[in-house]
């Protein structure tokens, strides 16, 4: 009888692991030091896109490198779209003119910003390229936010709330707030290809 219970206990653990793998379990409950908000259904494209952007803290920002023949230059950058649980959907960045990304953006504003769900820990065992592990690319123009404007101050508060280290970055490095004015959205969060999603639907998703 005791042996039977042990075997059944092992079977139960194995079954639980199988279920977690199949249905994407094992995700993190805390991200960036705060509770992770509930993951929307993949079919709810606009809320899902806003959730992915709001819960994420970094991505790859690509600009056009004129000194490389116009080739895209991708750079890992931190960002915030608003205060915790109050995201606007618009990515704000704290960039220095000493970095190529800000330099390229001043000469050609065309940019794209890509985020993967994988760092959130909500993809289970799925590979980052698996369609069930969401990814989104926001394409538009990277523009400098007017220094000392209300928008710049609000964006700084949001950035510092998510990235506390930023507030202590060297003042002589001329860090300034930039934002991506979104013109197009590409998102895959399940099988069947990219979700049809307009910028207006994204910004007014009700999140």
DSSP string of 62-109, one letter each residue: EEEEGGGTTEEEEEEEE-EEEETTEEEEEEEEEEETTSHHHHHHHH--
Contact 180, 113 (CB under 8 A): yes
pLDDT of residue 206: 74
Q: Is the pTM of this model over 0.95?
A: no
In this prediction, the residues of the chain whose per-residue pLDDT falls under 70 are: 1-28, 30-33, 207
pLDDT of residue 35: 86
pLDDT of residue 32: 58
pLDDT of residue 31: 62
Q: If we measure between CA atoms, which residue out of 79, 70, 78, 74 comes closest to residue 62? A: 74
């Amino acid at each position: 009888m005791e042996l039977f219970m042990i075997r059944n206990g092992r079977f139960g653990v194995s079954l639980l692991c199988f279920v977690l793998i199949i249905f994407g379990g094992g995700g993190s409950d805390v991200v960036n030091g705060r509770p992770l908000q509930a993951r929307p259904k993949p079919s709810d494209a606009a809320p899902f896109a806003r959730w992915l952007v709001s819960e994420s803290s970094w991505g790859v920002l690509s600009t056009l490198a004129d000194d490389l023949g116009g080739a895209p230059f991708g750079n890992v950058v931190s960002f915030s779209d608003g205060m915790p649980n109050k995201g606007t959907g618009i990515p704000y960045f704290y960039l220095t003119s000493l970095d190529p990304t800000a330099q390229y953006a001043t000469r050609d504003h065309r940019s794209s910003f890509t985020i993967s769900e994988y760092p959130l820990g909500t993809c289970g065992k799925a590979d980052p390229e698996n369609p069930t592990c969401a990814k989104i690319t926001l394409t538009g123009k990277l523009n400098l936010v007017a220094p000392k404007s209300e928008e710049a101050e609000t964006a700084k508060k949001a950035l510092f709330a998510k990235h506390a280290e930023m507030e202590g970055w060297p003042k002589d490095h001329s860090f300034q707030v930039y934002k991506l004015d979104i013109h197009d959205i590409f998102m895959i969060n399940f099988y069947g290809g990219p979700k049809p999603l307009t910028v207006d639907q994204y910004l007014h998703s009700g999140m």
